[in-house]
Each structure stands twice: as structure tokens, then as C-alpha cells.
Structure 1
């Protein structure tokens, strides 16, 4: 007769296991049980070889990974704790000590911070380049160049890169290309059709969609990229929360309708701003005032919710701050991709040869009525 204390710890399921649901279950767990000793393994390739340890993902995480890989047409996707973790995984997989990498000067700020901090400390030189360089990137490739980053549109200044031209130049010298494809949610720009080797997203943004989770994804184009990323993924211990993965899986179900609504509303707001006398330039990929607009028209299937605008020189940096503080529907916040509209000014944004003078503002358009958002911007412009 088994003692009741032992019965409490028996992991054998007691309920029926044939429950079918539209929702992916949240599998929490670290320890994986094996049928016999010969089956015991510690292998990060769980999608290929079966489960080995919760560190590499429970069925909830692997379901999310498979679905991201499916919409991106990737060989395989790794789910990691956030966008910055995705960037780190790519850098550390492709850049050994003594190597050289290239990153556009318009890239996400923490990417450049990692280049100047962690990577420099590991004896990796990361050189900034003009995001609009296109095929001219070939002049910057060295014998020890191992990675070229692209991010299109660029962070804040929204430059659209000629990714196919950069890929062609890179592959001619056997250099890999990684793309931060967060803006396009992995669906409005087909990274792998354009030859990119690794595509990453901050799932925190559009896939999560509700500003309540932190996750990232790193998708490999082929077996070569998969084999390069996997061992580093294992060694870094990039475990993710199955609860967050469950929220991201739910976010995927509404991604299409949210992106459609966000594109329409964002264009309405951007076009209204372009007509205002206090606004000098609107940096939205669908407008011809955005650097690289013609490339966006060629390569992208749509636009999303984030864009920037530059006040005219008649507006002071102090007035821009007054404008931000006078907004009521727009909240002041750094992220984007969620259901709430956000605004933030970049008072010290650095770009070669350009001084924005604290006059560049980035907006994320949410799911509020766009007429209300325009009225909020109108009243706030009136305050200055």
C-alpha cells in the first residue's frame, strides 16, 4: 500500500488526456521524463530529436517557435527572453574574437550599445554604416567580416534599406546577413526570400500586441544558420516563460486584423501631420518624404504603426517637450506595437551630419479611433 505522502508526488496523470482545445496548453516544467535510461539526452534540438530539458523550451514555447517559423518560412526559430537577447544570440553566434561586423547607424540603440560594450570587450569590432548604402556595402567588407546587420526601417529615423543589394554583396564575400525584422512583424517583409540568413523580431511588439510580455525570436534560413545558432542558444541558457509564450500565441491569432487596423489608422495620422505648418518632415515609409521610400514600395507588402516626424526649425526643443506633455490620449512611452498610442521625443538623437535639435518625435499609433488621435495632436500643437 503506497503511503499518501508518496501519492502526492506521483507525476502519473490521473485525468483523461484526450482533451482537445483551441488554445495551446501552458506547459510549465524544467524536468523531462524519459522512458528508459538509453533515451536520456541533453540536446537543444528538441524540435528534431524530442524533449530533453525545460531550458530549451516546453511544448508551449516550441509551438510558438514553430508558428513563427511557419509565417516567416524559416528552417527553425528560437524563442528567447526579449529582442535584446535575440540580438545577443546573433552577435555571439556569428562574431568570434578578432572578427569584424557592420551595423547601420540607424539601428536600435541597444544593438549599437552592445556593439560598443560587450562585443568590443570580446575583441569584436562593429563598424557603423550608412543604412542607405545599398550595394556600396561591399567597400566596407573586410577579410575578417563575419556579419552584416540590417534594420529596415531604421529605428526612429526610419530609413528603408536595400536589403537584397546588401545580401548580394555580402554573400559574394561569404558574409552572413542578419535582419531586425520587428517593424514588419516578420510578415510585411519576406526576409528569407531576399536571401537574409537570420531574421529576428522583438515579439514584445506586434506579436505580443498588448504591452504585457517580453519575448524575442531568432529565425534561421537554413540548416547552416540553424547549426550556427543552436549551440550558442544552448550555452547562453535563454529560457523563456511558457506563460509569456502562451500570450504570444494568443497575440498571433489577432495579428492580421490588428496590423490591418494599425496600418490604416497610422497612415491617416501621418498624412494629417504632413499638412501641419509646424511639422517639417514626416518619416513614414509609405510617404515619399521617408528616406528609401521607393525601396519600401518595391519590397514591403504594407506598413505598420510606428513612424516619426520632425518639427520645423521655428519650434524649440522646449516647445517639443511641452507638446509631448500636453498630449492626453497619447501616452509617453518608449516601446511600440501595442494597442495604446505612444509618443516620445529624442532630444539627443545622433545621426552623422544631422542635428535634429530635439525636434524629432516618434509615435506609435494604437487602436484608438484615429480621429481622436488627430484631435489630440491638434490640441497639443495648439499648446505651442
Structure 2
């Protein structure tokens, strides 16, 4: 395929070969465990494209190849969930006795994996302020093997200076991993900005329809052998049907992200003008910490952001607001076609930073509904804040 075509065109072509598919547009679903060899010699030397189901299938390889090209990587492996992909990436760079630097704003299940599982295997995790910048040098030790980044941060959307931090890590022989789920490679090219490994929860925008769980890890040439070896030793791969659905989602990823961006920006601008909203935490807005890095490094913004309400409204008032919403569902995950909203409070589990906002906080996922309808739903919800208890 010619590389000079635009991204939207590339997404329609990646991970499929019509000639090998008897002319059908999409590749078939290969399900299976056993692979039959033609001879003893082939069996003994594993002379086959696929030797066993845990090593992949044509369906899985189609998605791996597509994501590798999209991410600008040397290779990709997959997992049945985003957290599984994070675990794979970390296990490929860490060993007993290592020191791991983790942003304090990281996805909470990642924090639990570090504090419970990695700790049990002798890995020390130290949490850092995601906006520390060059100060990260002061936290690096001789035994530091991995610097993890998540930009923007989970829930509160701090944007990190990724090129600076990856450069400082590389100068000291430290591997870098980024959770790039919010932007996807469409809006942020992690490897181009210096990251050794990039994690994506395909559950979110790659799926786009809230009907599958998947994680992907792409790696540069230097980190690819260790990642693939870790993956092969664990055989933690997704099912063929999920890979087929992810490939289908890939075709419209760019269009859906553009629409999510446009609708989210319209709603965020409206929210920023409402008297009940104190602070908007959206990377495309100056009120978001690290906004200048987003302007410099990203080519767009997705449909997920947060806001801080005026401190006048307590939890009971926010409960009235949320319970009466008709278009916004309350549920975890994001990236699907439906809009979601959840309250959150990160004060109890962050250790390297202190959350200083006094108001109640909400995270919004803007789906593909008409934005005017969503705004009307939110306006009615904000009106309920003023209702008597």
C-alpha cells in the first residue's frame, strides 16, 4: 500500500488483502487451536506461519499488522483487555529489584497492578507529579528501568511533556511506556515522540461500540523482541471474533474520533460558560494543566474530559443532577457511541500530588448523539443542582 495516502484512506486498507480473501472485502474469522503440519520435519522445525492457536491466527495477525503500521511501530501484540496490555508492557521491561516511575494520575487499575502484583515480585513503584518535567531526573535511580507516562492523565487530564521525558529516560537507559488510549495514534504518535512502548485500550475508540474488550501494545524496534517474548510466554491473546470487530472498528476510527472531537468541543465550550461550572479539564482548553504540550504535540482531542463544579454544590446536589439525566448514562469505560457521565474523587488514592479543587468533579464521555440534545440534558441536570434537597 502506498504510504503517501491520507490517514482516512490508510485506515480503509490496513490489515486486509482482498486477493487472499477470494475477493471478499474483509478477512474471515479464523478460530482454532491446533495447526496441522505437512511433515515431521515441518513439525519439528515449526515450519508454518502459525504453529499453534496461542501464537496467533490470520485474523489476529491482520489486526497486529494494521495497528503496527498505524502506530509507526516495529510490532504489536494484543491482550483481552486494556489492563492486560498494560501488564504485558510492564512485564516486558521490569524484573525483580527494579524501580518503576509511575504518574500519580495514572488509570487506577494500573496503580492497583503496581501496588499489589508488581510489589509481590519485588518491583518498587514510585509515583510522581505528571507535570514534573525535567525534575523527573531527581527521581531516577540506578535501578530505575521503566518510566510510565499517561498523557493526558486519567480523570484529571494533565498533559505531560512526553518528548522531554522520553529523551531524559533514553539518555539514562530507561525504557518508556505510555498509555495512549485517550488520543489513539490518530491524534498522538507515541513512538514518534520517543516512547518505546505504547498501550491502547482497544475497548474504547478502536471498538467504538462498547461491545468488546481488548488491549494492544506496540513497540519500537529496540523493545519489540522483549515484548514479543513476554507475550509468547503468557499466551494472553484475545479471541478471533473480537479481533474481527476491532478491524471493523478501525475502518471508521478516524471519522468517529473527528466527530467525538467536534461534539465534545461544542459541549465543553458551552459548559465553560455555565455559572455552575468552576473549571473545565479538557486538554484543548487553557484551563487544563499542560495545555501547551497538547497544542505542540497532539493533532486533535477526543470525546473525554472532566469538569469541576462550583463548591456550592455538595454530593447530594450532584446526585440529583445525575439521577435525572436521560441521555447521559452512568457507567465506566468510554469511546463508544453513547454518552456517559460519572462523578469521581481522586483525593484518597493519589500520593505524590494533592488534588486542590474543592468542588465536586465529573467526567464526561461525549458520544455520537446530537450535541444540542446533550446540552439540553445537561442544562436540565444543572438546573436540578438548584432544587431544594
Q: State the TM-score, normalized to the length of structure 1.
A: 0.92
Q: Which of 3, 28, 33 is matched with 1:30 structurally?
A: 33
Over residues 44-74 of structure 1, what are the superposed CA-to-partner deviations in whole Å (9 max), with x where a residue is unaligned?
Answer: xx9xx72111112111011001001111111
- 2:343 maps to 345
- 1:126 maps to 125
Deviation, structure 1 residue 259: 0.8
Maintained 8 Å contact 2:21/2:28: no
Deviation, structure 1 residue 36: 1.5
- 1:368 maps to 369
Maintained 8 Å contact 1:278/1:312: yes
Q: State the TM-score, normalized to the length of structure 2.
A: 0.90
Which structure 2 residue ranges, 5 or more long, are not aligned? Answer: 1-19
Maintained 8 Å contact 2:76/2:216: yes
- 1:176 maps to 175
Deviation, structure 1 residue 40: 2.2
Over residues 170-227 of structure 1, what are the superposed CA-to-partner deviations in whole Å (9 max), with x where a residue is unaligned?
Answer: 01110000010101122211111111100110000000000000011010111x3111
Deviation, structure 1 residue 35: 2.1
Deviation, structure 1 residue 359: 0.7
Q: CA RMSD in A?
A: 1.6
Q: Secondary structure at the match of 2:246?
A: helix
Maintained 8 Å contact 2:347/2:354: no
Q: Which of 274, 277, 285 is matched with 1:276 structurally?
A: 274
1:9-48 to 2 correspondences below 5 Å:
19-40=22-43
1:1-384 to 2 correspondences below 5 Å:
19-40=22-43, 50-222=49-221, 224-350=222-348, 351=350, 352-356=353-357, 359-384=360-385
User: In the aligned structure 1, how far is the partner of 2:259 from the partner of 2:182?
Assistant: 15
Which structure 1 residue ranges, 5 or more long, are not aligned? Answer: 1-16
User: In the aligned structure 2, how far is the partner of 1:365 from the partner of 1:170?
Assistant: 35
User: In the aligned structure 1, how far is the partner of 2:194 from the partner of 2:368?
Assistant: 34
User: In the aligned structure 2, how far is the partner of 1:18 from the partner of 1:26?
Assistant: 11
Q: Which has the larger radius of gyration?
A: 1
Q: 1:378 to 1:229 in 2, by over 3 A?
A: same
Maintained 8 Å contact 1:345/1:358: no
Deviation, structure 1 residue 231: 1.7
User: In the aligned structure 2, how far is the partner of 1:101 from the partner of 1:381?
Assistant: 42
Count of residue pairs the alignment pairs up: 363
Q: Secondary structure at the match of 1:68?
A: helix
Q: Secondary structure at the match of 1:335?
A: coil
